[in-house]
Amino acid sequence: MVEEALARSFDGIGEEYDRFRPGFPRQAADAVLPESVGAVLDLGAGTGKFTELLIDRAARVIAVEPSAMMREVLRRKLPEVDGAPGTAEDIPLESSSVDAVCVAQAFHWFDRDAASAEIARVLVSGGTLGLIWNRADPACAWDLACHRIAHPAVADVDDTAASADELPGFELVAHTEVRWTEQITRADYLRRWGTVSSFLVAPAEERAALFAALEAVLDGAEETRDREVLDLPHLTDVYRYRRA
């Protein structure tokens, strides 16, 4: 129930999610789809932050997302994409209908075995599955400190570890790590944390305390103290699988 509440916390923040959450580097899409394909599905597409990198890589791009508000943002941004409601455990597509499936920053919300079976069902034989994850650069102490405030139970755990495990019906082909830096204002960095599930479900008083703790980190770090624009490093992991 706790996981379900956290997952559903995103239902009402389509615009904020799109504005403040980080995008993905083009190299990540290159690692999943080095060549163009006929049809690609972005599963758990959110507001289309990874979907937009697929437009010129496939003749048809499909985005499946359970949140109506996020789908609405995606449709406005990317009218050429076929958007549809659905979940990873019940994908509204015919069997063997897509050449590739991409999941960016969403696989941890899925039922692993049920989602793997559905993804395998909609993929053609030998089709590609790409799992993409942005994560904090371990060399950036101030950002890691903020992650520990927002996610104390998992801040020092590599969130991509689960995706590196063997997935039923799939063979891991390659793992690519992309290092990149984003410029973001201090205000937007703080607003970004406001779109994280642990902040969204927290009572107002607890949320205020979390923001105060983040402010204290930024005020105390040499790289961020008295700076309006921050240089925020990221690591993006791409796991490319082949349907067995």
DSSP string, 78-94: -TTSEEE--BTTB--S-
CA separation for the pair 119, 95 (Å, rounded): 9
CA separation for the pair 62, 49 (Å, rounded): 13
pLDDT at 10 over 80: no
H/E stretch holding 225: none
Which pTM value belongs to this model? 0.88
Is residue 38 within 8 A of residue 228, CB to CB? The reply is: no
- Residue keyed to tokens 């923001």: 211
Q: Which residues contact 135 (CB under 8 A, 6 or more apart)?
A: 158, 159, 160, 234, 235, 236, 237
How many domains does the chain fold into? Answer: 1
Range of the domain at 194: 4-243
Indicate the average pLDDT of the chain: 91
Summarize pLDDT for 141-179 with one digit per residue, the tens: 999 999 999 988 654 445 554 455 679 999 999 999 999
pLDDT at 152: 81
CA separation for the pair 227, 239 (Å, rounded): 35
Which CATH number belongs to the domain containing residue 230 in this structure?
3.40.50.150
